[in-house]
């Protein structure tokens, strides 16, 4: 049985890989703050008792970095430096079964679309009303804006569909709301990101709608 203490849980979120992973981590951090958690991001000297590693699984070097980072924190946990270790992101999505066998020290593995499940494991609520709000970790003058998730292409050399699923566009309305929220935080430059930006809008509007999105964002 875990000994109860007065210490408040603190989470150190470690982000590996691309800018899209960074946005996922920022969304996690936003949810944790809304649940009254203390949070560090990419801190080497954090006093957090919980670590969440957001992994990359796209190329071999990224896989190696992700595995080494998981092993690093698994050893810290073994030595008593942290209490809980969770892994999410692309590597976890693609190789979850293998990772559970090879690195059982991790308390739980989560895929790329399992944020509510990760929060539940942390005894936090998923707050859908926070969609469009995000606490950025980039310098204040710019932020990433993820306009869609996944890819419908079946390129033999690419595993993105396996890790991120089918292409799903976010609506222009939702993206404008998020852009306005970011502008209020001081963001001057938005960097639009996606696994396949040229497909934007095909699922929602049955046409390529990137020009319309750009026009709407230009009015923010």
CB 56 within 8 A of CB 15: no
Q: Which two tokens stand for residue 190?
A: 């938005």
Q: Across residues 44-69, what is the average pLDDT?
A: 95
SS3 198: helix
Topology of domain 142-218 in CATH is Transcription Regulator spoIIAA (3.30.750)
Percent of the chain clearing pLDDT 70 (strictly above) = 97
pLDDT band at 206 (very low <50, low <70, confident <90, very high): very high
Residue 132 confidence (pLDDT): 78
For the chain, how many residues are written? 220
Q: Which of 115, 77, 73, 112 is nearest to 95 (CA)?
A: 112
Residue 49 has pLDDT above 80, yes or no: yes
Residue 1 confidence (pLDDT): 43
Domain borders along the chain are: 10-122, 142-218
Burial category of 101 from C-beta neighbours within 10 Å (exposed 0-12, middle 13-18, buried 19 and up): exposed
| Cα separation, 73 vs 61, whole angstroms | 19
Residue 58 has pLDDT above 50, yes or no: yes
Residue 18 has pLDDT above 80, yes or no: yes
Which CATH number, 3.40.50.970, 3.60.9.10, 3.40.50.12160, 3.40.50.720, labels domain 10-122? 3.40.50.12160
pLDDT band at 7 (very low <50, low <70, confident <90, very high): low
| Cα separation, 123 vs 88, whole angstroms | 16
84-130: per-residue pLDDT in tens?
999 999 999 999 999 999 999 999 999 999 999 999 999 999 998 88
């Amino acid at each position: 049985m875990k000994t109860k203490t007065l210490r408040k849980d603190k989470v150190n979120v470690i982000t590996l890989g691309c800018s899209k992973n960074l946005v996922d981590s920022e969304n996690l951090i936003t949810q944790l703050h809304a649940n009254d958690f203390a949070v560090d991001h990419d801190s080497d000297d954090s006093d957090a008792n919980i670590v969440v590693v957001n992994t990359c699984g796209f190329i071999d070097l990224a896989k190696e970095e992700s595995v080494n980072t998981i092993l690093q924190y698994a050893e810290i946990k073994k030595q008593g430096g942290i209490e809980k270790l969770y892994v999410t992101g692309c590597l976890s999505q693609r190789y979850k079964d293998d990772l559970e066998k090879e690195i059982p020290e991790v308390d739980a593995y989560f895929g790329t679309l399992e944020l509510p499940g990760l929060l539940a494991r942390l005894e936090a609520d998923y707050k859908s009303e926070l969609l469009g709000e995000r606490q950025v970790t980039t310098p204040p003058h710019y932020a990433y804006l993820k306009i869609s998730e996944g890819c419908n292409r079946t390129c033999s050399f690419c595993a993105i569909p396996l890790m991120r699923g089918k292409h799903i566009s976010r609506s222009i309305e939702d993206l404008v709301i998020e852009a306005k929220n970011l502008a209020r935080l001081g963001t001057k430059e938005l960097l639009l990101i996606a696994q396949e930006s040229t497909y934007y809008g095909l699922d929602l509007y049955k046409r390529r709608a990137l020009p319309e999105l750009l026009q709407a964002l230009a009015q923010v």
